[in-house]
Amino acid sequence: MKLNPLSDEYRPRIGLTTYWQEASWGVWQSQAAIVPGKYVQAVVAVGGTPLLLPPVGTDTTVLDLLDGLIVIGGVDVDPANYQREAHPTTAAQPERDAHDMALTATALERALPLFAICRGAQILNVERGGTLNQHLPDLIPDAAARYQPAPGVFGSVDFTTVRGSLAETLLGKQATAPCYHHQSLENVAEGLQVTARAADGTAEVIEMPQAPGWVLGTQFHPEENLEDLRLFAGFVEAARSYARTTQHRERQGQL
């Protein structure tokens, strides 16, 4: 049975971008579309239905089928996208950049709720004309020890939100989250606003206050703490509202 978006039982359809790289399963090893499981668990836990969008055969019209988009974390954004030479530590996947930026731009055009996480927040900033710091330890000497304590080990970041922001509404004045910072936002694109910072000044949350839709990006990794899904809950609620509004408009157009 197909549920109507106006029904309380409707689960918003949430698209998630993916990695595209070598992976192993069973006796096999090959190229695969990968999403760390906690992203999927977080979406399901707050009432959404996850749908994966690998960076192969990009088709932005797929957003017609979705109620929200999550651009997940991953490798560095290619600095060629913001007219910089690559830092020795930068590792990029240009084909994934093109995919993620195309989906991000289309989501913004359609006022589709957008949740951009870590690399996703950087994609959002670069797509809108901003730039990145390619190696945070060059700016903050102890950044690696605090934000990337060991390969594959998440650090923790405390941050303060801006009064009246979406971040403050969802998280309060101060919060803590898992992180794995290597790069960070440098010049913030026009239309975006930093609404939470760490004590060292690192931008931790960006929003788009003048956008018609729900837009929020985090430098940290909220999916890594499944005990605190306030951001995911706020996003999926926005996706539910988007679905209901879209359904209402479609019905009005049929009258």
Model confidence, pTM: 0.94
**CA nearest neighbour of 140 among 78, 194, 90, 183:** 183
Could you list the mean pLDDT of each consecutive 10-residue stretch along the chain, which spans 255 residues?
68 97 93 96 98 97 97 96 94 93 98 98 98 93 90 96 98 98 96 97 96 96 98 98 77 43
| 243 inside domain | yes
What confidence tens digit (pLDDT) does each residue in 98-154 have? 999 999 999 999 999 999 999 999 999 999 999 999 999 999 988 888 899 999 999
Residue 116 inside a domain? The answer is: yes
| CA angle centred on 231, ends 227 and 232, rounded to 5° | 80
Res 233: pLDDT: 98
In a domain, 105, yes or no: yes
Measured in whole angstroms, the distance separating CA 139 from the mean position of its chain's CA atoms is: 24
Per the structure, how many domains does the chain have? 1
Structural tokens at position 23: 């992976």
> Residue 149: inside a domain, yes or no?
no
Residue 167 lies in a domain: no
Q: Are strands 49-53 and 13-17 parallel, antiparallel or unpaired?
A: parallel
Give the domain CATH number at 125: 3.40.50.880
Q: Is 228 helix (H, G, I), strand (E, B) or coil?
A: coil
Considering the domain boundaries, does residue 55 fall inside one?
yes
pLDDT score for 251: 42
CB atoms within 10 A of CB 53: 25
Full residue range of the structural domain in which residue 115 is found: 13-22+29-133+183-254
The per-residue pLDDT for 174 is: 98
State residue 3's pLDDT score.
61
Residues 87-113 as b/e (b if ≥16 CB within 10 A, e otherwise) read beebeebeebbebbbebbebbbebebb
pLDDT value of position 6: 65
**Alpha-carbon gap, residue 115 to 214, rounded angstroms:** 8
Which residues does the annotation mark as catalytic? Answer: 118, 221, 223
Distance, CA of 215 to CA of 113 (rounded, Å): 6
Nearest to 95 by CA among 54, 139, 156, 38: 54
In a domain, 145, yes or no: no
d(CA 104, CA 54): 14
Q: Is residue 209 part of a domain?
A: yes
